Structure 1
Amino acid sequence: MMLSGADVIIECLKEQGVDIVFGYPGGQALIIYDALYKARNEITHILTSHEQGASHAADGYARATGKVGVCIATSGPGATNLVTGIATAYMDSVPMVAITGQVPTNLLGKDSFQEVDITGITMPITKHNFIVKDVTQLADTMRKAFAIAREGRPGPVLVDVCKDVTAAMVEYTPKKPEKTDYVSNKYHDISNSAIEEAINAINNAERPVILSGAGVGIASAEEYVRSIAEMADIPVSTSLMGMGTFPGTHQLFMGMVGMHGTKTSNYAFHNSDLVIAIGNRFSDRIVSKVSSFAQKAKIMHIDIDGAEIGKNLNVDYPLVGDVKKILKAIQAGIIKKKNPEWINRINKWKEEYPLRYTYSKDIIRPQYIVERIYELTKGEALITTEVGQHQMWAAQYYKYSRFRQFISSGGLGTMGYGLGACIGAQLARPDKKVINIAGDGSFRMNLNELATAVEYKLPIIIALFNNRALGMVRQWQELFFDSRFSQTSIDRGTDFAALANAFGAKGINVTSPEQVDSAIISALAETNTPVLLNFAIDKDDKVSPIVPPGAALCDVVDC
C-alpha cells in the first residue's frame, strides 16, 4: 500500500505494539502529528508540558513495563529538550526510541530555522541513532531502532526524520517484528570451563557476597539470584538501580551497598573473600576507593555488556552473556550448604548497625514519612524519585519486593526526573498506586508536568520533602566544606500546596508528625486527581550513613 512517511512511522509503531507515546508538536513534526491524529483510536498521545517531561515519561513507562518507551519532538529546541532524558535513559540502560522532526533535506547544513544536528549531539548518549533522508529507508530504520533499543543491554535510540521524508509517498509492506528480547544471536554461550570455575569459586568461598544490579531484573533472573543465595547461604546487597531484584524483607538481604549503603553491606564487602557481581557496572558510588574495594576478595562479574568487565575493577571470573542463562548454569552446580560463621557475623552487624533515626513528636523526620508510605501502601506502590537526599531515604526505608517497583535516575542523577517518570509509570500501570518522592529543589525543575497529570486525571501522589534547601549539596557543604552554604538555600516562600491547587491538583500541607498518616491515607483514596503532600522537614536532616569521598567502604560513618 502507498503511504506517506509519517503514516509509515505510525504503522511501524503499531507493528511494535506501541499503544502510547509522549511528546510535544512543532513545525518539522507537523506531518507526523497529523498521522497521529488519524491513528488516535489506536495510539494514545500524551501531550506533556515540556519535551524533557516527555522523555522522562517515556523512560518511566519503559522502566515500569520493560517495554520500549517512545517520545516525539520537533527539530531544534524540541529535539535538544529531549537530550537530558535520553542521557538519563542511556546511563540506566532503559529502552527508548526518540523520534524527532528535522528540516527538509534541501535545507540541511544551512543553519535553517530550528535546525540542529541532533544525531551529532546525541551520539555519545544513545546506543545508536539515525537521520532519515530517504523515505524508502524509513520503515527499516524504525524497525532497527526498536530492535537495537531492546536487545542486549537496553538503551535509547534516536530517529531523526527530515520533514520532506514524512511527506513523501512510499510503498509500505507490513512486517511482523523479529523477536529481539534481552539476548540476540551475537551473545554466544559461555564455555563450560568458565562456568565450572565460577561454580567452584562459589562452592569454596567462605565469605561470599552477592551484588545484584539492574541487569538481574532486565534479564528476569531474580529467581536464580534468590535460589543461589538460599542454596549457598550467601548474603545479598543491591545497587541503587538493582532495588527489588532481591526481596527487601529477605533474611539474607543486607540493603544497598556503597556511598549511602548500610554499614552491614559495606563491612560485608570489605571482609568478603568472593564478590559475585551480577548485572551492575561497579560505579564509583558503589566502589568508592578502588584500591581498597574488597581487597580480600576475588571478583566475579556477570554481565551482558563485555565493555563493563574490567572497566572499573580487575575481575578474576569474567562471565559475559545472558545473565539468566549463566545463573541457571551456575545454579545447577551449586552445593547446598550453610555458612553459619559468616552469616552470624552479618547478623551481628545488622543488629549493631541498623538504619536508624530518632523519631520526633515535633519535627517530621523524612525517614518516618517513607516508613509510613511503605506501611500504608502495604509495600505495593510503585515509587519514583527525583534526585537528592529524598532519593536515598526512599532507597533505604522502603522495602522493595520486585524489580520495576523503584524508578529513579541513578547513573545521571537527573533532578527533575521523577514527576515525568511518575506520569509515565502511572499510565503504564494504572492498576498500581504510583508515588513520586521528591525534594523541593528537584520538584521545581519540572513541576509544570503537574498540568499533564491533571489533564489526564492521573491519581499520582507527590510526596514533597520540603526542607527549603538543596539538601544533598547542603549536606556535603556541611560535612566537607566547613558549613559554607553557598547557594543551597531556596527558602523562597513558595506555597507548594497552593501551587498544586492552582494547577487543578489537590495540595495538602503537612506540618507535624501526627498529620502524616491522615495525609497519606487521603492521598491514597484519590482515584482521578493528582495529590501533592507538602511535608515540612528540617534542612539539617542528613542521609546516613555515608562513605566520605575517596574513602574505603569500611570507612562508612554516621552523620
Structure 2
Amino acid sequence: MQLTGAEIVIECLKEQGVDTVFGYPGGAILNVYDELYKHSDEITHILTSHEQGAAHAADGYARATGKVGVCFATSGPGATNLVTGIATACMDSIPIVAITCNVGVSLLGRDSFQEIDIAGITMPITKHNFIVKDVKDLADTIRKAFVIARKGRPGPVLIDIPKDVTANKTEYQKVQIQEWEPSLEICESDIDAALKMIAEAKRPYIFVGGGAVLSGASSELYEFVKKVDAPVTDSLMGKGAFPGTDPLYTGMLGMHGTKTSNYGVSECDLLVVVGARFSDRVTGNAKKFAKNAKILQIDIDAAEMNKNVLITEGVVGDIRVVLRALNERLEQQDHHEWIEKIMEYKNRYPLTYHPEILTGPYIVEEIYRQTKGDALIVTEVGQHQMWAAQYYQYTKPRTFLTSGGLGTMGYGLGASLGAKVGCPQKTVINIAGDGCFRMNMNEIATAVRHQIPIIQVVVNNHVLGMVRQWQNLFYEKRYSATVLNDAVDFVKLAEAMGAVGIRVTTKEEFAERFAEALTLGKPVVLDCQIDCDDKVWPMVAPGAAISEAFDEGDMQK
C-alpha cells in the first residue's frame, strides 16, 4: 500500500512494539506529529518541557524496561537540544532511537531557517546515524536503526528525515519483527584460559559493571560468584546486577567506593571484570590499579580490552552467554580464608555519617527503609548520586538509573519520567542536588501535565556540593562560583507548576513527609535542607591509587 513518509514512521514504530514516544513538535516534524495524533490510542506521546528532557526520558525508559527508548524533535535547535541526552546514552551504552526532521532536501546545505547538520553533529556520540533523503529508504532505515541500537553493545541511533520525505509517498509493506537474541559466539580457547585463571587464584575478586545489567545476566552472575567463592564490588552502572544485600557484596569501587572494596581489589591476585570499562573514577591511578592481580575481563566490546588497563586475558561476548559457558564447566572453588579477611575489612571500615542531623546518607537510608528496597531510584550527578549509590541496597538490575559516563547534571528528572511511564507499577524517586534540579526542573510541569506521580527529592545544601567538596579539600576553601546564595524557593516553584511542594529540615520531618509523599499518587517535590559542608566519604584524591582511600576519620588524625 502507498503511505507517506510520516505514516511509514508511525507504522515502523508499531512494528517495533513502541508504545511511548517522548518529544517536542515543530514545523519540520509536523507531518509526523499529525500522523501520531491519529494513532494516539496505540502510541502514547509524552510532551516534555524541553527536548533535552525528552532524550533523558527515552533513556530512562530504556534503562528501566530494557526496551529501546524513542524521542522526537524538530529541526535546528530542537535537534541540537537532544545532543546532551544522546551523549549521555552513548557513554552508558543505552539503546535509544532519536528521530529528528529537517528542512526539505532541496534546502539542505543552504543555511535555511532552522537547518542544522544534526547527523554530523551527533556522529561522535551515536552508534550510527542516518539522513534519509528518499522516502523509499525510510522503512528499512528505521528497522535497521532499531537493530543497531539493540545489537552487541547497545547505544543511541539518530535518524534525520527532511520534511518533504515525510510528505512523499512510497509502497510500504509491514514486516514482522523477530525477537532479538544475543550472539552465542565465544572463543573456546578464551573460556579455557579464563577457567585456568580462576582455578589457580587464591584471592579472587569480582568487579561488576553495567554490561551485566544490560545483558540481563543477574542470575548467571549470582551462580558464577558463588562458584568462584569471591567477594563482589561494582561500578555505578553495575548496581543491582549482584544483590547489595548479599554477604559477599563489599560496596562500590573507586573514588567514592568503600575502603573494603578498594583495599580488597588492591590485594587480590585475580580480578574478574564483568562488563566494566575501567573508568578513571574506578581505577584511580591506572598504573597502580590492582597491581598484585592478574586481570580477566569479560566484555561484549573487544575495543574495551586493554584500553585503559592492561589485562591478562579477555573473553569477548555477551555477558550472559559467557557466564553460562563458564558456569557449565567451572568447579566449585573455596576461598574461605580470603573471604574472612575481606569480611574483617567490612567490619572494620563501615560507611558512617553523622546521625544527629538531616544528611544526605540519612535521606537515602530512610528512602530505602520506607520503600523496603523495592523502589526505582534515579539520580542526578554529584554528592547525592554517590550517597544514593552507597546507602541504598540494590537487589535487582535496572533499579538504579544514573548518568555514569557523561555525568550529566539535569539527567534525573527526565529519566525518572521515562522510568515511571515504562514501569508504572514501580515507585520512582529522583534524588537530586539543588544545582542539578535547577537545570531541568521545568520537567515537573511535564509530570503534572501527564499525571506521572514521581517523587522528586532535592538534597538542598545551597551549594554545588561535589565541586565545593573538591574546593574544600584541594583548593584551600576557595569557593569559586559554587555558592547558590539566592532566594529560589523550590516548594513555591513546585506548587506553581501544579505539584505538591514540601520542605523539611529535620530527620523526623523527612521520615513523616516522605511517608506522606508515598501515598499521594501525585508529583511531589521534597526540598530537604542539609548542611553545605556535608561530604561524601570515603574518597580517593585525584591521581592517587584506590588503596589510598581516606575518610573523615583519617582527616582528623
Task: Indicate the TM-score class for this superposition, using the shorter chain for normalisation.
Answer: over 0.9
Map of 1:121 onto structure 2: 121
Is 1:172 the equivalent of 2:172? yes
Q: Which of 409, 412, 436 pairs up with 2:406?
A: 412
1:318-467 equivalence runs, <5 A: 318-360=314-356, 363-467=357-461
1:10-409 equivalence runs, <5 A: 10-181=10-181, 183-184=182-183, 188-191=185-188, 193-360=189-356, 363-409=357-403
Match of 1:311, as an amino acid? K
218-227 vs 234-243, greater mean Cα deviation: 218-227
8 Å CA contact retained: 2:22, 2:47 = yes
Residue 177 of structure 1 deviates from its aligned partner by: 1.5
Show CA shifts across 1:94-142 (max 9, x none). Answer: 0000000110000000000000100000000000000000000000000
SS in 2 for 1:402: coil
In the alignment, the residues of structure 1 paired with residue 453 and residue 35 of structure 2 have an alpha-carbon distance, to the nearest angstrom, of 30
In the alignment, the residues of structure 1 paired with residue 95 and residue 239 of structure 2 have an alpha-carbon distance, to the nearest angstrom, of 18
SS in 2 for 1:401: coil
SS in 2 for 1:237: strand
Structure 1 gaps, min length 5? none
Is 1:546 the equivalent of 2:542? no
In the alignment, the residues of structure 2 paired with residue 189 and residue 233 of structure 1 have an alpha-carbon distance, to the nearest angstrom, of 24
Show CA shifts across 1:280-319 (max 9, x none). Answer: 1111011110110011100100000011111111111111
In the alignment, the residues of structure 1 paired with residue 371 and residue 545 of structure 2 have an alpha-carbon distance, to the nearest angstrom, of 36
Is 1:537 the equivalent of 2:534? no
1:468-487 equivalence runs, <5 A: 468-487=462-481
Is 1:523 the equivalent of 2:520? no
8 Å CA contact retained: 1:199, 1:330 = yes
SS in 1 for 2:430: strand
8 Å CA contact retained: 1:190, 1:326 = no
Structure 2 gaps, min length 5? 553-557
SS in 2 for 1:345: helix
RMSD: 0.9
Show CA shifts across 1:479-508 (max 9, x none). Answer: 111111000001212111111111100001
Match of 2:488, as an amino acid? T
8 Å CA contact retained: 1:478, 1:484 = yes
8 Å CA contact retained: 1:547, 1:555 = yes
Map of 2:555 onto structure 1: none
Residue 459 of structure 1 deviates from its aligned partner by: 1.3
Residue 334 of structure 1 deviates from its aligned partner by: 2.0
Map of 1:497 onto structure 2: 491
Match of 1:213, as an amino acid? G
Residue 175 of structure 1 deviates from its aligned partner by: 0.5
SS in 2 for 1:242: coil
In the alignment, the residues of structure 2 paired with residue 433 and residue 544 of structure 1 have an alpha-carbon distance, to the nearest angstrom, of 28
8 Å CA contact retained: 2:491, 2:502 = yes
Map of 2:503 onto structure 1: 509
In the alignment, the residues of structure 1 paired with residue 359 and residue 319 of structure 2 have an alpha-carbon distance, to the nearest angstrom, of 39
Match of 1:78, as an amino acid? G
In the alignment, the residues of structure 2 paired with residue 22 and residue 334 of structure 1 have an alpha-carbon distance, to the nearest angstrom, of 45
Is 1:557 the equivalent of 2:553? no
8 Å CA contact retained: 2:186, 2:315 = no
SS in 2 for 1:547: coil
In the alignment, the residues of structure 2 paired with residue 337 and residue 109 of structure 1 have an alpha-carbon distance, to the nearest angstrom, of 63
Match of 1:147, as an amino acid? V
Residue 430 of structure 1 deviates from its aligned partner by: 0.6
In the alignment, the residues of structure 1 paired with residue 410 and residue 203 of structure 2 have an alpha-carbon distance, to the nearest angstrom, of 41
8 Å CA contact retained: 2:296, 2:312 = yes
In the alignment, the residues of structure 1 paired with residue 375 and residue 415 of structure 2 have an alpha-carbon distance, to the nearest angstrom, of 14
Show CA shifts across 1:207-251 (max 9, x none). Answer: 100011111111111112211211221000011000000001000
SS in 2 for 1:419: helix
- The percentage of counterpart residues that share the same residue type is 58
Residue 399 of structure 1 deviates from its aligned partner by: 0.2
